[in-house]
Amino acid sequence: MTISTISKPHERLAQILTSEMEAVNTLIRTRMASEHAPRIPEVTAHLVEAGGKRLRPMLTLAAARLFGYSGDHHVKLAATVEFIHTATLLHDDVVDESAQRRGRPTANLLWDNKSSVLVGDYLFSRSFQLMVETGSLRVLDILANASATIAEGEVLQMTAASDLATDEGVYLQVVRGKTAALFSAATEVGGVIAGATEEQVGALFAFGDALGIAFQIADDLLDYQGDSKTTGKNVGDDFRERKLTLPVIKAIAQATPEELSFWERTIARGRQEQGDLEHALDLMKRYGTLEATRADALGWAAKAKTSLGALPDNEIRTLLRDLADYVVSRLN
Amino acid sequence: MTISTISKPHERLAQILTSEMEAVNTLIRTRMASEHAPRIPEVTAHLVEAGGKRLRPMLTLAAARLFGYSGDHHVKLAATVEFIHTATLLHDDVVDESAQRRGRPTANLLWDNKSSVLVGDYLFSRSFQLMVETGSLRVLDILANASATIAEGEVLQMTAASDLATDEGVYLQVVRGKTAALFSAATEVGGVIAGATEEQVGALFAFGDALGIAFQIADDLLDYQGDSKTTGKNVGDDFRERKLTLPVIKAIAQATPEELSFWERTIARGRQEQGDLEHALDLMKRYGTLEATRADALGWAAKAKTSLGALPDNEIRTLLRDLADYVVSRLN
């Protein structure tokens, strides 16, 4: 595969960062080993080897390389970020009682919930050891705060999921917790370890935050209008799982009393009948909430690109700008 | 209550450390709050307010005070240690499918498994923020390693629990993970923050490690010979739950082929019948494994006391010595 044939920005980033991504993968495999408890690498390998785009560790490597960093702490931090991500996936699948992840049966189904909970804890503690090895208190502070935001967002999502009072503000908090907090921590720590200025670290935070929000809003929108062949998801999964995401929140905000009882019955109480998804989609179209959600996602992608203005202008920055376009390109 | 009427060493320690323990409790209440997710303080309060002896945070405060520490970082570290302990209890109850903890229904029963998993994650991330605030990389290193030992021990316990090949070496690893790792980290970080020498920190580790092991072995022994009125547990709970603890491991090591099939059936396969617990107790008596287990617990308590030799000789040290006697005194 030559550069000219690669069009997706995360693939071009992966190519530029090939040797460092290999170092990250090696470190992940080394650190997920456990001499005493073979169940740990079994469960972790199932998830880590399944692929995924490794977007988060790539953001850390890219942020460090933006500033020409030449040490190896960014590799440790990239592995840290991927371990945190994998740990949250393991716990999420227990919480959501999921059966599939990345097209394969989830660990909680292949082994049991216990394994998912405890191996998630193990990976989180391993990530903690890795970040301590960098010796940077600033990095530890960023990742500690991100961990708290992630955990708080998860609890909030659980309690707010089917509560019709959930508004766009709460939705944004949940999205920051479940997605944006780790994106922004990933870019921030890459910059910190490379010696970026405070202003640049602030810009890296703003970029990761906006990119993560755009990414998650796009994901939530595709649940209602995606092509299941390309997304690998069925249209309306979130509706069936009674998850209040932006297209529905916007429709509820404008609902007539009659429509409100429809949302009350289907989302809050979960009494869904044949034809309900179609009716929900009709309501979203009637109020233009799919378009409004798309506009929000594009707005966050634009914000991400603007944040890059404060950062060194080089090839990596161009690819990060393209990445912001790419995460919402599926919506066009 | 005057000092003369208090005989238990942890109560005397609690009295000497009253103002600092109050500061720890205030910090715990402040930090378990969550503006956005009220489920978090609900679940945490259920567990934190239920009492418990607060042994682990007290060990941190005591270790710092051994060296005359007069700052306030030991309060943060004591709260850190209690948060880690509470987080592991929440996850343990999900893993063990427990219904009771400290005489009250468990959080997973009152709310659900999801809440226990996610609130446990939140408390762990809060503990992480607290320790970062001390600014000590040495403290972070100790607690990161302790977290990994705890998580690995939990996975090992899950996979080794009903496996007859579990020997005393594996048992000790599990005990270090589930109990001793946090005891030793609690004492170590108290010393580190107070400026103890490397030799003294080593002695604090050895003390916490041996104290934790003595404590857990005593607990496992009392399961088979305790008075349910004082322990609040029923004799043989571990047998019914098919947990391989030291008294049984020692009996299996000496078992005849016929006795081996008994253990195979009752522990490995879990096919228990009326009279099996009595037969198991008979076997333990025949091989003197309850006495041998008691001797092991006393040995670890003695080791804990010996470790204190390298530490400053003052009132706190005397109470820590008494504490080592106390954790095994229930066996006399």
Cβ neighbours of B275 (radius 10 Å) = 8
- In CATH terms, the fold of domain A11-135 is Farnesyl Diphosphate Synthase (1.10.600)
B150–A144 C-beta distance less than 8 A:
no
What integer is the mean pLDDT of A196-203?
98
Cα(A108)–Cα(A89) distance, integer angstroms: 11
CB-based contact, A171 to chain B, within 8 Å: no
Cβ contacts (< 8 Å) between B132 and chain A: which residues?
137, 140-141, 144
Closest partner residue to B121 among A40, A91, A141, by Cβ? A91
Instruction: Show me where the domains of chain A are located.
Output: 11-135, 138-312
Kindly give, in sequence order, each residue whose CB lies less than 8 Å from that of residue A155, ignoring residues fewer than 6 positions away: B34, B37, B39, B40, B115, B118, B119, B122
Task: Write the burial class of residue A144 (CB in 10 Å: 0-12 exposed, 13-18 middle, 19+ buried).
Answer: buried
Q: Do residue A113 and residue B118 have CB atoms under 8 angstroms apart?
A: no
Residues of A in contact with B152 (CB under 8 A): 34, 36-37, 40, 122
> What does chain A come to in residues?
332
ipTM exceeding cut-off 0.90 for this assembly: no
pLDDT tens column, A151-182: 999 888 888 877 898 999 999 999 999 999 99
pLDDT band at A1 (very low <50, low <70, confident <90, very high): very low
Cite the DSSP H helix spans in chain A.
Answer: 9-16, 18-31, 39-48, 55-66, 73-96, 107-110, 113-133, 137-160, 168-175, 181-193, 198-225, 228-231, 237-240, 246-253, 257-263, 276-286, 289-307, 315-329
B165 touches chain A (CB under 8 A): no
B174-198, pLDDT tens digit by residue?
999 999 999 999 999 999 999 999 9
Residue A101: beta bridge partners? A104
pLDDT, residue B1, reads 42
Cβ contacts of A117 on chain B, cutoff 8 Å? 91, 94-95, 117
CATH number of B14-135: 1.10.600.10
Stretch A305-315: mean pLDDT, rounded?
Answer: 97
Of the pLDDT bands very low, low, confident and very high (cuts 50, 70, 90), residue A139 is very high
- pLDDT in the model for residue A58: 96
Instruction: State the Cα–Cα distance between residues A150 and A158, nearest whole angstrom.
Output: 12
CB B94 within 8 Å of CB B111: no
The pLDDT of residue A66 is above 80: yes
Q: Which fold has domain B167-180+196-316+325-332?
A: Farnesyl Diphosphate Synthase (1.10.600)
How many other C-beta atoms lie within 10 A of the C-beta of residue B199?
10
Q: What is the pLDDT of residue B34?
A: 72
Going from the C-alpha of A217 to that of each of A223, B170, B181, B255, the distances in angstroms are: 10, 48, 42, 62
d(CA A39, CA A130): 21
User: Does B14-135 match B167-180+196-316+325-332 in CATH topology?
Assistant: yes
**What gap in Å lies between CA B300 and CA B328, rounded to an integer?**
9
Q: Each residue of B116-130: pLDDT tens digit?
A: 899 899 999 999 999
CB neighbour burial string for B276-288, b if at least 16 within 10 angstroms, e if fewer? bbeebbebbeebe
Contacting residues of B for A118, CB less than 8 Å apart: 91, 95, 151, 154-155, 158
Bridge pairing between strands A100-101 and B104-105: unpaired
Q: Which residue has the higher pLDDT, A9 or B198?
A: B198
- Of the candidate ranges A18-22, A159-163, A254-258, A283-287, the one whose mean pLDDT is the lowest: A159-163
Q: How many CA atoms lie within 13 A of A314 on its CB side?
A: 12
Sequence-distant (≥ 6) Cβ neighbours of residue A315 within 8 angstroms: A16
Q: Is the dihedral of CA B147, B10, B210, A39 positive or negative?
A: negative
Closest partner residue to B125 (CB to CB) among A37, A115, A151 is A151
Q: DSSP characters for B38-55?
A: THHHHHHHHHHTT----H
B142 touches chain A (CB under 8 A): no
Rounded to whole angstroms, the Cα distance separating A190 from B227 reads: 57
Among residues A197, A182, A211, A173, which one has the least CA distance to residue A307? A211
Class of residue A51 by CB neighbours under 10 A (exposed 0-12, middle 13-18, buried 19+): exposed
Residue A55, pLDDT above cutoff 90: yes
Query: Which of A121, A152, A170 is closest, CB to CB, to B154?
Result: A121
- pLDDT at position A5 is 56
pLDDT cut 70: percent of chain B above it? 89
Mean of per-residue pLDDT scores for chain A: 90
The percent of residues in chain B predicted with pLDDT above 90, rounded, is 69
CA torsion angle for B97, B100, B104, B110 (degrees, to 10)? 20
Reduced to 3 states, what is the DSSP secondary structure of residue A162? coil
| Chain B interface includes A117 (CB < 8 A) | yes
pLDDT of residue A101: 61
More confident residue, A273 or A105: A273
Q: Hey, is the C-beta of A241 within 8 angstroms of any chain B C-beta?
A: no
Cβ contacts below 8 Å, chain A against chain B, sum to 133
Residue appearing with tokens 């935070």: A205
Nearest chain A residue to B160, by CA: A37
The candidate with the shortest Cα–Cα distance to A74, out of A33, A138, A24, A26, is A24
pLDDT above 90 (res A314): yes
Give pLDDT, residue A108.
67
Q: Could you tell me if B140 lies within 8 Å of chain A, comparing CB atoms?
A: yes
Residue A231 tokens read as 């997304």
| Torsion, Cα of A130, B72, B79, B321 (10° steps) | 100
CA distance B156 to chain A (A): 5
Predicted local distance difference test score (pLDDT) of residue B129 = 95
What's the mean pLDDT in A9-22?
92
Cβ contact A158–B91 (<8 Å):
no
Which residue shows structure tokens 């940077």? A136
pLDDT score at B229: 63
From CA B189, how far away is CA B131, in angstroms rounded? 10
pLDDT, block means (10 residues), chain B with 332 residues: 64 92 92 76 70 88 97 96 93 75 64 84 94 96 96 87 88 95 98 98 98 96 79 81 94 97 95 96 96 97 98 97 93 73
pLDDT digits (tens, 9 = 90+) for A204-232: 999 999 999 999 999 999 999 876 666 66
CATH number of A138-312: 1.10.600.10
Quick one: tokens of A273? Answer: 């009948």
pTM for the predicted model, two decimal places:
0.91
Chain A within 8 Å of B129 (Cβ-Cβ)?
A: yes
Chain A residues in contact with B118 (beta carbon < 8 A): 91, 95, 151, 154-155, 158
